[in-house]
Amino acid sequence: MPSIMRRSFAILAIALAAAVSIPAQAQFSDGYKFLEAVRKKEGDKVTEALNEPGTQIINTKNFSTGETALHIVVARRDLTWMQFLISNGANVNVRDNRGMTPLVAACELGFIEGVDQLIKSGARVEDANNTGETPLISAVHRRDLALVRMLIKAGANPDRPDNSGRSARDYATLEGKSSAVLGEIERAAKDAKGTGVKKTYGPSF
């Protein structure tokens, strides 16, 4: 093999090795730094990134999990940061790699203030994760009566099934006819029907 060809292969091998050694997140340094600043509550750095002309960084996703800044602050039940990010254009209906929207995540945590904020900001109450679990089903699993009431009032369908074929009403029924959650579903659904509440659908991004 000619020496020039050997040198070319050697240079290519070094370049490939260097590329592999760089963490995937580092290849998206601006987005990675932004998410880290959100995670660490570094307000100045976050604000600086958001003030870049034409930036779309507010909805950047973690390379491995698909989480956005809004997912991060929901996970730590941080209402102040939620409001800040939403006011700066955070997509309230964005999904991570598991299909989790911020609303489903907030319901799993029982973060009722966050749920209220997301609904008011246009979160779609019927969006489910990859297993078909809706925010209402999450609330039923938690036996959270206040969340159940809030979601149905916002238009959540208690009879929408997940991937296993069971709905929020079905899961509540498994606890027996005297289940407080089932009773709340029946009352809330009746009240919502009586007031003519329509299902809530937020803006699509």
DSSP-assigned states of every residue in 56-81: -GGG---TTT---HHHHHHHTT-HHH
Secondary structure of residue 167 in the 3-state scheme: strand
Q: How far is 112 from 109, CA to CA, in rounded Å? A: 8
Structural domains of the chain, ranges and CATH numbers in brackets: 24-123 (1.25.40.20), 125-205 (1.25.40.20)
CB under 8 A, 24+ apart: contacts of 74-81: 74/102, 74/105, 74/106, 74/109, 74/111, 74/114, 75/105, 75/109, 77/109, 77/111, 77/114, 79/113, 79/114, 79/117, 81/38, 81/41
Please tell me which residue, 172 or 18, carries the higher pLDDT value.
Answer: 172
Q: Cβ distance 30 to 57 under 8 Å?
A: yes
DSSP helix, strand, coil percent of the chain (3-state; round to 5): 55, 0, 40
- Give the end-to-end CA distance of the chain in Å, rounded to a whole number: 55
Q: 106-150: per-residue pLDDT in tens? A: 999 999 999 999 999 999 999 999 999 999 999 999 999 999 999
Q: What is the pLDDT of residues 27-49, one digit of tens each?
A: 458 999 999 999 999 999 999 99
- Asked whether residue 1 carries a pLDDT value surpassing 80, the answer given is no
Alpha carbon distance 120, 124 (integer Å): 10
Is 16 a residue whose pLDDT tops 60?
A: no
Percent of the chain at pLDDT exceeding 70: 80
Question: For position 25, what pLDDT does the model report?
Answer: 46
Rounded to whole angstroms, the Cα distance separating 183 from 58 reads: 40
* Count of helix runs (H) and strand runs (E) in the chain: 11, 0
Instruction: Check residue 12 and give its pLDDT.
Output: 53
